[in-house]
Homo-oligomer: A and B are copies of this chain.
Amino acid sequence: MSQELIQRLTAELETIPLIDPHSHINPHSAASTTLADIMGYHYYTELAHSAGLPKAHIEEPNLDPKEKVARLVPKLAELDNTAQYSWLVEMCQSFFDFQDENVTVDNWESLYDTAAAKMAEPDWEDQVLKKSGLEQVFLTNDFDDPLEGFDTHRYVPCLRTDDLVFHLTKPQTRERFQKATGVEISDAASVVDGIGKLFEHFTKNGARACAISLPPDFSPRQVSDTDANGAIAALVSGDELPADQSESLSCFVFWTLAEKCAEFKLPFDLMIGVNRGVYADGVFQGQDLYDKRTSLINYRALFNAFPQVTFPVSVLAHTSNQELVSYSWIFPNVVTNGHWWYSNIPVYIEHDCRSRLQAVPKTKQIGYYSDMYKLEFGLPKFAMYRRILASALAGDFVIGRGWSESRAAELGQLVLRGNVESIFNVG
């Protein structure tokens, strides 16, 4: 396949300003202040730990950022093959005038200092956004986030609901709920009422999505008020819920969220397939894995019950991608969303991207999101995706189907940007 063709298409896609539909950016501290913000990201700490660096060296309390980087750098040579490492080098080259091919024990310190100086510039955040071509970035907000003190046009709020669905059994979650909503949980109605207030608060502040990550065995279903009341009564009385009541409560809250998404016209992002804490002694955010034995058939009742809610679905495993393609092909309310986590490496993106482009209506595909914690990651991650997207457009459309390059680029535009606007009502 012509490398020149791919490069022309990549260049075309690079002209498109981006809206990033999922990140973990803290809008009060969006960009990095030192290289430790970047290299301390779990991608590098978990890989360095995987390659043998003890967790205690990485997560020592009160560790100086420079010292942290000094400890990580020697391990980089053992993971310089990874896609994640390539993002690091691309960030350093793009943002910090880094000229070398690799970050090594010999060059890291000057890189660290250069980065610190750049990051200290008052408009660093703006520089990063501009250089990355990012216009808007979706957040992941706790349900009790006040959503104050930042530009909600630039940083679009998103109601993250894992705590509500899976941790309402914890007293501190219920306290946070009460504080945020003014509603004390006493029965099913109070939960519905409080969640309604959260949706009011979020939509009033420009939220454009509700979101949740889900374990492989979760299977949402409608729960009767009687069952929900039973579980909540037991909970409020201080009982430890048995597994079946805990599952009922999770399903009740989840179903209520879907109802509120319908009422408030918010898409409901489902990120399906993660088991939390599988590697108990892993580094921060480096403990989660999965069981590939999951199926979207678990969401059959949900997709049927809420035709008016759009569900942008992310799957953790490449082996789940075909189901995502098929369900999006059939269900009007299911759309494909990005390339998540363990599937966010080129070989999987290539296949998953091609299959979506070949079988899902083009208006129903959200191409990519960064999932980033710090703003600098957007650039290399979207760049990786654009190269893969350009390659798919070149191979399957320009060469394979005789499309003009401009028609292929338009398809790319839709997937990269246009659908984010239309599906989330932003832009």
Contacts and interface: CB of A to CB of B under 8 A. Distances in A.
Interface stretch (A16-24, A113-121, A329-337): A329-337
A138 B427 CA distance: 52
Interface residue SS majority, chain A: helix
Given A322-B342, A347-B355, A364 B51 contact: yes
A292 B304 contact: no
A354 B349 CA distance: 12
A354 B347 contact: yes
A342 B280 CA distance: 33
B50 A329 contact: yes
A322 B343 contact: yes
Contacts of A51: 332, 361, 363-364
A314 interface: no
A189 interface: no
A126 to B, nearest CB: 29
A300 B300 CA distance: 29
A295 interface: yes
A79 B364 CA distance: 9
Interface string A319-351: 110110111111110000000001101111001
A220 B23 CA distance: 37
A9 to B, nearest CB: 15
Interface in A31-83: 46-47, 49-52, 78-83
A302 to B, nearest CB: 12
Contacts of A50: 328-332, 360-361, 364
Interface stretch (A165-173, A229-237, A282-290): A282-290
5 contacts: A46-B330, A47-B361, A279-B331, A290-B323, A345-B359
A204 interface: no
Contact of A292 (B79, B322, B342, B399): B322
A416 to B, nearest CB: 14
B289 A327 contact: yes
Copies of this chain, count: 3
Nearest to A102: B407
Contact of A361 (B78, B286, B347, B364): B78
Nearest to A384: B400
A374 interface: no
B79 A362 contact: yes
Contact of A345 (B52, B355, B361): B355
Nearest to A49: B332
A14 interface: no
Centre residue among A3, A294, A342, A364 by max chain B CB count within 10 A = A342
A252 B46 CA distance: 31
Contacts of A11: none
A174 interface: no
